[in-house]
Amino acid sequence: MDATNKPHQIPPEMALYAEKHRIFELMQSLMEALLIYRPEDPVDFMIGHLRKNNADVPRVFVVGPPASGKTTISRWICKHLSATYVCPQDLVHNQKLKKSQEVLSCLAQQEAIPDELWVSLLEERLSDEECMSLGWVVDGFPETRDQALQLQEKGIAPRHVIVLHAPDTVLVERNLGKLLDPFTKEVYHSTFDWPVDFMVQRRLVVPEGISEQVTASRLLESHRNIPGVIQAYAKNHKAINADQPCVDVFAQALSFVQSRPASKAPFLPRVLLLGPPGSGKHLQAALLAQKYGLVNLRLGDLLREKVVERTPLSELIKPFFNSSYPVSDNIVLSVLKERLNRQDCLSCGWVLHGFPRDVDQASLMKHTGFEPNRVFFLNLPTEVALQRLCQWATDPVAGERYHSIFKPPINAEVNQRLRQNPKNRPEKVEVKADYYHQQARELEDFYEDGIALNADQDPYTIFEHIESYLVKPLPVTRR
């Protein structure tokens, strides 16, 4: 592009492609890999890096004190995301790993295993094709800041670090009740997690090193080292209280692992609000436009503006307005495309509501080259929509709007002269709501990354939810 020729008219397709394929993050990943590994042939290295196609696979460390549930959470994450479970202690007996022999030699001589050897062993395992293609979850490592720094020097960088914590009294009680299935290596508890299978019950054994004295010693060591580990991963860790039901801990951990880190890529919001009448699309669009400077586009307003302009296009729209029939899709797309091509939409972003109403219109909009990057479905029951819309009325003298429940008029004279908008009559609201609900399922399938929100709550609570998805990357979903 010519830097002297501004503003640049960047085709919308370019931004769509870059966002869809995450070009900015891809280039960032390539540069990071080049700086870490410093290959002799950078071009071949980058081609190989791209062929791995593992940009979104999980790379997770789960750390915490003894009995905090690291193994359980790690295995559950692996099962849910089809990732590879990695436990450094299990790697010692993996004969396929060259470094395992050195570790066994140290254990045979009753020597402490150096951190360098642990890191090399883990590096060898994580470089396997299985870990590279499916991702990995490492259970209980690193245990110290030195180990974390050595992993970073080797280029082993997790995207997410889960730090589990709980009161010492809880951890001691959990640890002393542990039982191990020697066949499956599953860990059970005599009080909280007793197996149902009678055969499993019979073969349970007490693991080594879980006496009260040993547990207290390991807890003390963990308390000394965990702050250093957290410091090494200050920007990508999440502390989770493990003193709660396992399913709740797992839900928080999974939500964190599926989240994407904040991106530094330029982001231009293109928001689409879909929902039945009365779901608050107009209000949410106004709030987004006010706070983020987006162009507020309401299809009905755009068409009315075109009619006033008295252009050849307005002559085509007038008959539809006079007959109360929906404006032809081709005319609507022409008006919408012209508006979205203006400089304010291209430079500031936009929020659209009132269109599309069905999958055919959504498909036509996609072919114009303008696609939303955030789609919100504001779900609302028809009964609530009727309560919201059908009880609004306007004072024709003062122009003030009243609601029989939320904002009733105080003056009896005002109450007598109130007039209801014909569009808000129950029969018309029901027709519009029924039509939306008939199309909603297909629209949800069309916009597969759409976010469903409950619109039957405080509007500012809804806005906070919309805002959170607007300023943060969408979660990773592996299909």
Task: Enumerate the domain spans of the chain.
Answer: 57-258, 270-390+425-471
Fill in the amino acid letter for 371.
E
Q: Measured in whole angstroms, how far is the alpha carbon of residue 187 from the centre of its chain? A: 31
CATH superfamily membership of 57-258: P-loop containing nucleotide triphosphate hydrolases (3.40.50.300)
pLDDT recorded at residue 9: 61
- Enclosing H/E stretch for 431: helix 426-446
CATH class of the domain at 270-390+425-471: alpha beta
Same fold, 57-258 and 270-390+425-471: yes
pTM: 0.70
Identify the pLDDT of residue 300.
85
Helices (H), 82-211: 88-91, 99-108, 115-126, 129-134, 145-153, 168-176, 198-203
Secondary structure (DSSP) of 74-90:
HHHHHHHHTPEEE-HHH
What is the reported pLDDT for 473? Answer: 74
pLDDT digits (tens, 9 = 90+) for 260-299: 877 777 788 999 999 999 899 999 999 999 999 999 999 8
Query: Which residues of the chain register pLDDT less than 70?
Result: 1-13, 53, 476-479
pLDDT at 419: 80
pLDDT at 237: 94
pLDDT digits (tens, 9 = 90+) for 349-384: 999 998 999 999 999 988 887 889 899 999 999 998
Question: Which amino acid is present at 114?
Answer: P
Positive or negative, the CA dihedral 20, 23, 29, 34 is positive
